[in-house]
């Protein structure tokens, strides 16, 4: 019996059997039978012509037919149907045809069905990838809106908090003047504590403002000539007291390139280094060592801050540079800026990254992992481009003309930021 005759003989049996086994419910079965009749007609044309393109239209429709529920549940329904269809076709041919006719039929149509299965799988994957891309795009849009709202909240909260804080600071200062010459020692102590809290809160608010400026690309730089060695000397003097309190050692090593004059914002770079070293002190146990070193690279100066602290786990080595990124559990953090594992809002390293990147540099950290017993430590790398001319094209990215402009620096009034002793 010819293959075409076998196909005609098996058609009603094939449609009824596959429809019964693969479609649930009379309503579904009616529509499914119609699709099977269409498929079978195209299958016959393919066998006659030897051209699988006859099946392309229906395979395209089937491959792009998954519903939203199918896509969300990762349900590969159509490819399953075709795969099962191949098995049922083999059974039907064996049950209703002579062995020779069955073999001839299967030799003709199984390769076509296998090809159809491959095409449908490809179409289903394309549909699924498009669905996932759409979902990722939607999630990304929501995250962007959330991040924008977070930045707006930080900006508004910081500016709104600054006004009442200024009032509190002013009245506290007047109260200090009133008890200055009195013998109320306890009142002086109380006011001193209030003033310490004010300074701490002002530092947090200033950090929030800096984060808002960085997020909105509004951080301006006061570009001037400076020497890296001057910055590092200021750092060494600034941290003498906290280093002594923690019985730690701070080593500042002279390196090639530290005496070279470059262009940058000295106060902002000081702030960036200050944040990293404060972080190193906090996460290094008492009697530990912090070492500041560096090297000259082609076109760059690299500064490294190495500590003998508790280290940073691999999954947190990127997160710590995000806003509110913190190591460990926040509820276990102690208070204080230099106490071991002392807490904070988690803005310092985010600000540092913003400052360094605004200068055209980059920052990253290396650590073998987190271990409070073995103390693997961490190494922060800060890479700064060497600017020996104020009209460097990269500088024009920030200033927009051929002459360097002295832009108003967004100062934040931090008690640790050098003002009278410029490192330039």
The residue-averaged pLDDT of 367-392 equals 87
| Contact partners, residue 160, CB within 8 Å, separation at least 6 | none
Residue 130 neighbours by CB distance under 10 Å: 12
Question: Which of 73, 57, 34 is CA-nearest to residue 123?
Answer: 57
Q: How confident is the model at residue 296 (pLDDT cuts 50, 70, 90)?
A: very high
Q: How confident is the model at residue 103 (pLDDT cuts 50, 70, 90)?
A: very high
Q: What pLDDT shows up at residue 333?
A: 47
Q: Where are the alpha helices (DSSP H) in 50-98?
A: 56-63, 68-72, 77-96
In a domain, 424, yes or no: no
If asked whether residues 228 and 209 sit together in one domain, one would say: no
If asked whether residues 253 and 192 sit together in one domain, one would say: no
Q: What share of the chain is helix, strand, coil (3-state, %, to 5)?
A: 60, 10, 30
Is the pLDDT assigned to residue 141 strictly greater than 90?
Answer: no
Question: Which of 214, 272, 259, 225 is CA-nearest to residue 404?
Answer: 225
In a domain, 406, yes or no: no
Q: What pLDDT shows up at residue 69?
A: 52
Q: How confident is the model at residue 332 (pLDDT cuts 50, 70, 90)?
A: very low
Q: Nearest 5 degrees, angle CA 329-CA 194-CA 413?
A: 80
Query: In this structure, what DSSP letter does residue 366 have?
Result: E
Is the pLDDT assigned to residue 53 strictly greater than 60?
Answer: yes
> What are the beta bridge partners of residue 382?
303, 363
If asked whether residues 162 and 241 sit together in one domain, one would say: no
If asked whether residues 29 and 147 sit together in one domain, one would say: yes
Q: Let me know: does 348 contact 323? Beta carbons within 8 Å.
A: no
If asked whether residues 63 and 150 sit together in one domain, one would say: yes
In a domain, 34, yes or no: yes
pLDDT digits 0-9 by tens, 302-329: 999 999 999 999 989 988 998 876 655 5
If asked whether residues 276 and 231 sit together in one domain, one would say: yes
Is the pLDDT assigned to residue 272 strictly greater than 50?
Answer: yes
The residue-averaged pLDDT of 16-33 equals 71
Is the pLDDT assigned to residue 180 strictly greater than 90?
Answer: no
By the 10 Å C-beta count (0-12 exposed, 13-18 middle, 19+ buried), 3 is classed as middle
Q: What pLDDT shows up at residue 27?
A: 46
Q: What pLDDT shows up at residue 25?
A: 47
Going through 258-386 in order, the beta strands assigned E by DSSP cover 261-264, 289-297, 300-307, 362-367, 378-385
Is the pLDDT assigned to residue 21 strictly greater than 50?
Answer: yes
Residue of 400 and 142 predicted with greater confidence: 142
Which pTM does this prediction carry?
0.59
186, 203, 218 — which closes off a domain?
218
Q: What pLDDT shows up at residue 90?
A: 92
Q: What pLDDT shows up at residue 66?
A: 64
Residue 128 domain boundaries: 1-218
The residue-averaged pLDDT of 69-98 equals 78
The residue-averaged pLDDT of 11-30 equals 75
The residue-averaged pLDDT of 124-148 equals 84
pLDDT digits 0-9 by tens, 209-268: 898 888 888 898 999 999 999 999 999 999 999 999 999 999 999 999 888 888 999 999
If asked whether residues 203 and 236 sit together in one domain, one would say: no
If asked whether residues 229 and 259 sit together in one domain, one would say: yes
- Round the average pLDDT of the chain to a whole number and report it: 82
Is the pLDDT assigned to residue 58 strictly greater than 70?
Answer: yes
The residue-averaged pLDDT of 48-73 equals 77
The residue-averaged pLDDT of 43-50 equals 91
If asked whether residues 96 and 208 sit together in one domain, one would say: yes
Give Cα 41 to chain centroid, integer Å: 53
Q: What pLDDT shows up at residue 417?
A: 40
Q: What pLDDT shows up at residue 78?
A: 79
Tell me, what CATH number does 368's domain have?
3.30.565.10
pLDDT above 70 as % of the chain: 83
Going through 181-288 in order, the beta strands assigned E by DSSP cover 224-227, 249-252, 261-264
If asked whether residues 208 and 280 sit together in one domain, one would say: no
In a domain, 410, yes or no: no
Q: Let me know: does 365 contact 275? Beta carbons within 8 Å.
A: no
The residue-averaged pLDDT of 405-411 equals 40
Number of domains the chain is built from: 2
Q: What pLDDT shows up at residue 420?
A: 40
Is the pLDDT assigned to residue 403 strictly greater than 70?
Answer: no
User: What's the sign of the alpha-carbon dihedral 323, 328, 333, 338?
Assistant: negative
């Amino acid at each position: 019996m010819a293959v075409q005759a076998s196909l005609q003989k098996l058609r009603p049996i094939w449609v009824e059997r596959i429809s019964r086994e693969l479609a649930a419910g009379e309503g579904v079965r009616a529509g499914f039978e119609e699709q099977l009749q269409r498929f079978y007609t195209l299958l016959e044309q393919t066998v006659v012509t030897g051209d699988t393109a006859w099946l392309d239209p229906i395979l395209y429709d089937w491959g792009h037919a998954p519903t939203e529920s199918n896509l969300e549940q990762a349900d590969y329904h159509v490819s399953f149907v075709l795969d099962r269809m191949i098995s049922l076709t083999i059974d039907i041919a064996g049950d209703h045809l002579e062995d020779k006719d069955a073999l001839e039929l299967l030799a003709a149509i199984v390769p076509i069905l296998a090809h159809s299965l491959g095409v449908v799988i490809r179409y289903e994957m394309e549909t699924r990838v498009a669905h996932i891309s759409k979902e990722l795009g939607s999630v990304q849009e929501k995250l962007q809106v959330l991040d924008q709202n977070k930045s707006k909240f930080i900006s508004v909260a910081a500016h709104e908090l600054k006004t009442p804080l200024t009032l509190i600071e002013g009245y506290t200062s007047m109260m200090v003047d009133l008890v200055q010459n009195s013998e109320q020692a306890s009142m002086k102590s109380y006011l001193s504590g209030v003033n310490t809290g004010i300074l701490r809160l002002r530092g947090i608010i200033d950090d929030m403002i800096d984060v808002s400026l960085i997020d909105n690309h509004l951080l301006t730089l006061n570009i001037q000539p400076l020497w890296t060695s001057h910055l590092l000397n200021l750092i060494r003097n600034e941290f003498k007291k906290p280093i002594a309190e923690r019985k730690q050692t701070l080593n500042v090593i002279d390196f090639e390139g530290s005496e070279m004059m470059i262009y940058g914002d000295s106060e902002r770079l000081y702030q960036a280094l200050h944040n990293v070293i404060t972080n190193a002190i906090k996460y290094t146990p008492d009697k530990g060592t912090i070492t500041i070193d560096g090297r000259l690279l082609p076109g760059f100066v690299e500064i490294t801050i190495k500590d003998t602290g508790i280290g940073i786990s691999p999954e947190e080595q990127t997160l710590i540079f995000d806003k509110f990124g913190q190591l460990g559990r926040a509820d276990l953090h102690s208070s204080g800026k230099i106490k071991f594992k002392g807490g904070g809002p988690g803005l310092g390293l985010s600000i540092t990254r913003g400052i360094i990147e605004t200068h055209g540099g980059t920052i990253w950290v290396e650590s073998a992992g987190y271990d409070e017993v073995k103390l693997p430590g961490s190494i922060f790398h800060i890479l700064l481009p060497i600017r020996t001319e104020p009209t460097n094209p990269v500088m024009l990215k920030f200033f927009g003309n051929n002459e360097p402009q002295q832009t108003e620096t967004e100062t934040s009034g931090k008690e640790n930021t050098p003002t009278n002793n410029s490192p330039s």
